[in-house]
């Protein structure tokens, strides 16, 4: 491009949310698959998308990971590792893997495991567990599957919280999915608390630090921009919540985009300011791809808006640490 054409490009102020993108649980899960491939060689079986991002999944496939939805898709008698995704699995899954003599490696995020433990403790203490979350999400299936069928009641909306009828209103506890909207969840919890004041709450918030920090950054940036892009997959809960948070803060054009090719230039081709964030499962390289696409049309003035500092790190699953050491 000649300096003359570049001079004609309009200016675009870009506010880049920080933190954004990969969280410690996602980094650990992807590392687990990569390390397993290095240590044991391909194939490495992964139950469900290791994290909700097609780019990441395709990259791991190219290195020899084989993604399956259920264990019966894995050949009987294999000695290859079978990795459970960051979202966690129902108790029946590792039990089934043990029956099949599979070498299972659990890459469930430790913050999801914390929720599993809470639900189990409440159940042991005879409490009915209310799980606030989205039906059908793998994390919700995994958390509900920690307890016998019927022991967990799922509440998805404020309306359901108003109508919920527990077996014993004096003996309730709640947990939540880790990737929910902070504001929606606060509303649901407030309704339940008002109706059931004795309801036991988590010691520490179940919505994880990464979800919280990314939503706070989006809430700061969204009111100050004409449009907002959240890099992330449609099946990524935390990415969807970021888009909704931007919309709720008054940003008229807040969209979820997986790759630069999806950008609707009818909307994004005539703006003066843009906010950019990325869900916890979206790699930074895709944020760069999006910025490059804008740089081809605009002269960018990029500012980073920091709202929190993150230094969370989770070590690899135990089996991988000891086998790597050997
Ligand atoms: S979003 Fe939170 S709970 Fe989910 S993997 Fe990341 S850190 Fe863990």
Instruction: With respect to residue 3, please indicate whether it lies within any of the assigned structural domains.
Output: no
The mean pLDDT value of the chain amounts to 96
Question: Is residue 18 located within the same domain as residue 28?
Answer: no
Residue 296: count of CB within 10 angstroms of its CB: 10
Q: What digits encode the pLDDT tens for the residues 110-161? A: 999 999 999 999 999 999 999 999 999 999 999 999 999 999 999 999 999 9
State the catalytic residue, choosing from 118, 139, 244, 249: 139
Distance in angstroms (rounded) separating the CA atoms of residues 134 and 155: 8
Among residues 142, 123, 124, the alpha carbon closest in space to that of 133 is found at 142
What six digits make up the tokens of 304? Answer: 């980073």
Instruction: With respect to residue 2, please indicate whether it lies within any of the assigned structural domains.
Output: no
Higher pLDDT, 319 or 114: 114
Q: What is the pLDDT of residue 5?
A: 52
- Residues within a 6 A CB radius of ligand 1: 23-26, 86, 109, 111-112, 178-179, 208, 210-211, 238, 280
Residue 69 has pLDDT above 60, yes or no: yes
Q: What is the mean pLDDT of residues 186-211?
A: 96
Q: Output the CA 107–ligand 1 centroid distance in Å.
A: 11
Q: Is 171 annotated as a binding residue?
A: no
Q: What is the pLDDT of residue 6?
A: 53
What six digits make up the tokens of 150? Answer: 């019927």
**Pocket mutation for ligand 1, best pick of 20, 110, 112, 142 (most atoms within 8 Å of C-beta):** 112
Q: Is 237 annotated as a binding residue?
A: yes
Question: Is residue 115 located within the same domain as residue 169?
Answer: yes
Question: Is residue 19 located within the same domain as residue 33?
Answer: no
Q: How many structural domains compose the chain?
A: 3
Q: What digits encode the pLDDT tens for the residues 207-265? A: 999 999 999 999 999 999 999 999 999 999 999 999 999 999 999 999 999 999 999 99
Distance in angstroms (rounded) separating the CA atoms of residues 24 and 212: 13
Question: Is residue 267 located within the same domain as residue 215?
Answer: yes
57 forms beta bridges with none
Q: Is 137 annotated as a binding residue?
A: yes
Instruction: With respect to residue 124, please indicate whether it lies within any of the assigned structural domains.
Output: yes
Q: What is the mean pLDDT of residues 281-286?
A: 97
Measured between alpha carbons, how far is residue 3 from residues 6, 10, 270, 297, 299 in Å? 5, 13, 21, 14, 12
Instruction: With respect to residue 70, please indicate whether it lies within any of the assigned structural domains.
Output: yes
Q: What is the pLDDT of residue 323?
A: 72
Distance in angstroms (rounded) separating the CA atoms of residues 60 and 69: 16
CATH code at position 122: 3.40.1010.20
Q: What is the pLDDT of residue 88?
A: 97
Q: What is the pLDDT of residue 241?
A: 97
Instruction: With respect to residue 204, please indicate whether it lies within any of the assigned structural domains.
Output: no
Q: What is the pLDDT of residue 301?
A: 98
Q: Output the CA 121–ligand 1 centroid distance in Å.
A: 21
**Pocket mutation for ligand 1, best pick of 107, 236, 280 (most atoms within 8 Å of C-beta):** 280
Residue 102: cis peptide before it, omega within 30 degrees of 0: no
280 forms beta bridges with none
Instruction: With respect to residue 4, please indicate whether it lies within any of the assigned structural domains.
Output: no
Residue 85 has pLDDT above 60, yes or no: yes
Instruction: Please say if 139 is a catalytic residue.
Output: yes
Q: What is the mean pLDDT of residues 187-199?
A: 97
Q: What is the pLDDT of residue 8?
A: 85
Q: What is the mean pLDDT of residues 293-297?
A: 98
Q: Is 203 annotated as a binding residue?
A: no
**Pocket mutation for ligand 1, best pick of 26, 87, 181 (most atoms within 8 Å of C-beta):** 26
Question: Which residues constitute the domain of residue 122?
Answer: 111-195
Which atom in ligand 1 lies closest to the alpha carbon of residue 179?
1
Q: What is the pLDDT of residue 322?
A: 77
Q: What CA dihedral angle connects 310, 212, 240 and 279, to 10 degrees? A: 0
Q: What is the mean pLDDT of residues 265-283?
A: 97
Residue 41 has pLDDT above 70, yes or no: yes
């Amino acid at each position: 491009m000649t300096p003359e054409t570049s001079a004609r490009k309009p200016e675009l102020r870009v506010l880049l949310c920080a933190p954004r993108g990969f969280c410690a649980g996602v980094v650990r899960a992807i590392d687990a698959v990569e390390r397993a491939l290095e240590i044991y060689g391909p194939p490495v079986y992964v139950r469900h998308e290791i994290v909700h991002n097609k780019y990441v999944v395709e990259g791991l496939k190219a290195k020899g990971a084989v993604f399956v939805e259920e264990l019966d898709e894995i050949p009987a008698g294999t000695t290859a590792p079978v990795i459970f995704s960051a979202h966690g699995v129902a108790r029946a899954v590792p039990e089934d893997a043990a029956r099949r003599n599979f070498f299972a490696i659990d890459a469930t995020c430790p913050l999801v495991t914390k929720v599993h433990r809470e639900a189990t403790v409440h159940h042991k203490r005879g409490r009915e567990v209310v799980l606030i979350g989205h039906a059908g999400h793998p994390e919700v299936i995994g958390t509900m599957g920690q307890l016998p069928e019927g022991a967990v009641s799922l509440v998805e909306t404020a309306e359901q919280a108003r109508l919920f009828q527990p077996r014993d209103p004096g003996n309730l506890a709640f947990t939540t999915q880790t990737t929910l909207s902070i504001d929606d969840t606060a509303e649901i919890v407030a309704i339940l608390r008002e109706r059931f004041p004795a309801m036991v709450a988590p010691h520490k918030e179940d919505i994880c630090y990464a979800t919280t920090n990314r939503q706070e950054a989006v809430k700061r940036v969204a009111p100050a921009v004409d449009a907002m892009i959240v890099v992330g997959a449609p099946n990524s809960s935390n990415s969807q919540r970021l888009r909704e948070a931007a919309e709720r803060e008054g940003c008229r054009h807040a969209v979820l985009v997986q790759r630069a090719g999806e950008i609707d230039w009818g909307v994004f081709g005539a703006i003066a300011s843009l906010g950019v964030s990325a869900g916890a499962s979206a790699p930074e390289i895709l944020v760069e791809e999006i910025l490059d696409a804008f740089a081809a049309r605009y002269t960018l003035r990029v500012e980073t808006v920091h709202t929190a500092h993150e230094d969370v790190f989770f070590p690899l699953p135990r089996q991988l640490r000891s086998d790597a050491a050997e």
